[in-house]
Amino acid sequence: MNGQVQIGTSQKKLLKNVVMMDGTGALPKACDVLVEGDRIAKIESQLEIASYPNCEVLDCQGLTLTPGFIDVHTHDDAQVLLNPSMLAKVSQGVTTVITGNCGLSLVPLITNHPQSPLDLLHTKEFKYGRLSEYAKAIESAKPSVNVGVLIGHTTLRAVCMSDFEKAASQDEVAAMTQHLDLALQEGALGLSSGLFYQLAAAANEEEMKALSRVVGQHGGVYVTHMRSEMDSIIEAMHEAADTAQAGRVPWILSHHKCAGPKNWGRTIETLALLDRISQQQEVGLDAYPYNAGSTLLRVDLVDGVIPILITRSESHPEMAGRYLKDIAKQWHLSEQDACLKLMPGGACYFQMHEEDVRRVLQHPLTMIGSDGLPHDERPHPRLWGAFAKVLAHYCRDEKLFSLPQAIHKMTGLSAKRFGIKDRGVIQVGAYADLVLLDPHKVQDKATYDHPHQMCEGIHKVLLNGQWSFDNGKVTGHGSGKFLKRNGA
Ligand code: ZN
Ligand code: CU
């Protein structure tokens, strides 16, 4: 990069000579961009430096300017409070994270003994009975990202029910809808569910549809980690779509995959179904760019065929980073029994086919969500690499889509789908959440062996008009905000 660079906290910033990709998918444009306070003030082919005294001027020759990336699928609920610098995300250009996915949210549960799968958030302290209290905690933690919040159905069950083996009674449904209604009033983006997981699996149609109708009254979204991503995926898709339709809310299919060798290739079928559903109702989906999933250690996912890499184990932490097959051999056990011995814990499951990954990423409705698990000792590399890998590998090297399209999947599409107002696009009046990157050099570095590697090629990140990341470091301005649905 040429020119003098003065990084400061000036209220005005003039970004000269950028190649702008505005987040809508439109073709790139060479221009200058002026930021005033937390907003984008001007976008013109040329803005004269002399006209802007007391302005931080940055010559961005050779760099691409994009909206800040929105990580639509995270489990950062506790992370934004405990580790607000959020380096894994900020270093990739992420300016907003959406928490509360897969049915698991910190709000509105109060407990010191979260049951599995709520332990996936990896905190023992669930202490926010209302979204407004969590929002206050976010504002005082000053994270380096904005935070939008989904309310988890599993969390609602944990608040309102005692016997999770059953569908909720009428009274329990009423209690859940009350909590959900309040959270939506306080700005939640919508409801998420994870019927795949224990604690939620017994939920029936009535329970889910009652909650969906509450979401519909507020104009939120319904986001699903479906009951099945394996053999019964088609049934699971119909169930999720029907639930959303009951509330007339958009349905968002989380981390879409066809898991297990028996189901490889079936994204042809699932995406065709999704296209058909999208003609009747609003639909979205998200994905991460890897052929391994990652979740809790579960013996039902151990099929003896796919490789399974341990990311953490409470009973045997020293086994993090090793393959289950090798551990089983060492212990003279079956893979299932070794898994039981390692539980509770987490793992990466190499359960997808590359062709399916590509097909899903390429779908025009697919947004990028990392699904990173920030607390695992040896996390899946998607935590530090998902966005960079889409840009480097799938966009630049494999040419799965153009760069403006790749950016759109991380910004404009995501903001629109989730009701995040005035972000995800570079427009006069929009918030100045911006990324300066070098598309030729951007590169993910995190691997399964070395998952904590920062990506390359992201030069600077602006968050609400303040630098959040510069030259490999988080700046510490911590200007992240709690984002209410539709900016309400
Ligand atoms: Zn999930
Ligand atoms: Cu998830």
User: Can you read off the two tokens belonging to residue 342?
Assistant: 């390692």
Q: State phi, psi for 417 to the nearest 5 degrees.
A: -60, -40
The number of the ligand nearest the C-alpha atom of 373 reads 2
Q: How far is the CA of 127 from the centre of ligand 1 (A)?
A: 23
| pLDDT score at 6 | 47
Q: Are 152 and 192 in contact (CB under 8 A)?
A: yes
What SS3 string covers the chain? CCCCECCCCCCEEEEEEEEECCCCCCCCEEEEEEEECCEEEEEECCCCHHHCCCCEEEECCCCEEEECEEECCCCCCCHHHHCCCCHHHHCCCEEEEEECHHHCCCCCCEECCCCCCHHHHCCCCEECCCHHHHHHHHHHHCCCCEEEEEEEHHHHHHHHCCCCCCCCCHHHHHHHHHHHHHHHHCCCCEEEEECCCCCCCCCCHHHHHHHHHHHHHHCCEEEEECCCCCCCHHHHHHHHHHHHHHHCCCEEECCCCCCCHHHCCCHHHHHHHHHHHHCCCCEEEEECCCCCEEEECCHHHCCCCCCEEEEEECCCHHHCCCEHHHHHHHHCCCHHHHHHHHCCEEEEECCCCHHHHHHHHHCCCEEECCCCCCCCCCCCCHHHHHHHHHHHHHHHHCCCCCHHHHHHHHCHHHHHHHCCCCCCCCCCCCECCEEEECCCCCECCCCCCCCCCCCECEEEEEECCEEEEECCEECCCCCCCEECHHHC
d(CA 134, CA 141) in angstroms, rounded, equals 10
Q: How far is the CA of 76 from the centre of ligand 2 (A)?
A: 10
Q: How far is the CA of 282 from the centre of ligand 1 (A)?
A: 20
Q: Are 479 and 95 in contact (CB under 8 A)?
A: no
Residue type, 423: R
| pLDDT score at 181 | 98
Question: What pLDDT digit, counting tens, does each position of 379-418 carry?
Answer: 999 999 999 999 999 999 999 999 999 999 999 999 999 9
Ligand 2 (ion): residues with CB under 5 Å are 101-102, 371
User: Can you read off the two tokens belonging to residue 2?
Assistant: 């040429």
**Architecture per CATH, 292-350:** 2-Layer Sandwich (3.30)
Q: How far is the CA of 74 from the centre of ligand 2 (A)?
A: 6
Q: How far is the CA of 194 from the centre of ligand 1 (A)?
A: 7
Q: Which residue is it, tokens 């097909």?
A: 359
Q: How far is the CA of 294 from the centre of ligand 1 (A)?
A: 9
Q: How far is the CA of 49 from the centre of ligand 2 (A)?
A: 46
d(CA 215, CA 177) in angstroms, rounded, equals 9
Q: Are 101 and 150 in contact (CB under 8 A)?
A: yes
> Largest alpha-carbon pair distance within the chain?
75
Domain positions in the chain are: 68-291+352-419, 292-350
Q: How far is the CA of 31 from the centre of ligand 2 (A)?
A: 38
Q: How far is the CA of 233 from the centre of ligand 2 (A)?
A: 17
Q: What is the pTM of this model?
A: 0.97
Centroid of chain to Cα 360:
16
d(CA 379, CA 448) in angstroms, rounded, equals 8
pLDDT tens series, the chain, 488 aa: 333 344 555 799 999 999 999 999 999 999 999 999 999 999 999 999 999 999 999 999 999 999 999 999 999 999 999 999 999 999 999 999 999 999 999 999 999 999 999 988 988 899 999 999 999 999 999 999 999 999 999 999 999 999 999 999 999 999 999 999 999 999 999 999 999 999 999 999 999 999 999 999 999 999 999 999 999 999 999 999 999 999 999 999 999 999 999 999 999 999 999 999 999 999 999 999 999 999 999 999 999 999 999 999 999 999 999 999 999 999 999 999 999 999 999 999 999 999 999 999 999 999 999 999 998 889 999 999 999 999 999 999 999 999 999 999 999 999 999 999 999 999 999 999 999 999 999 999 999 999 999 999 999 999 999 999 999 999 988 999 999 999 96
Superfamily for 68-291+352-419?
A: Metal-dependent hydrolases (3.20.20.140)
Q: Are 202 and 191 in contact (CB under 8 A)?
A: no
- CB burial of 415-435 (b: ≥16 within 10 Å; e: otherwise) equals bbbbbbebbbbbbeebbbbbb
User: CA geometry: angle at 262 spanning 261 and 265, to 5°?
Assistant: 80
Q: How far is the CA of 75 from the centre of ligand 2 (A)?
A: 6
Q: How far is the CA of 154 from the centre of ligand 1 (A)?
A: 12
Q: How far is the CA of 72 from the centre of ligand 2 (A)?
A: 10
Q: How far is the CA of 114 from the centre of ligand 2 (A)?
A: 17
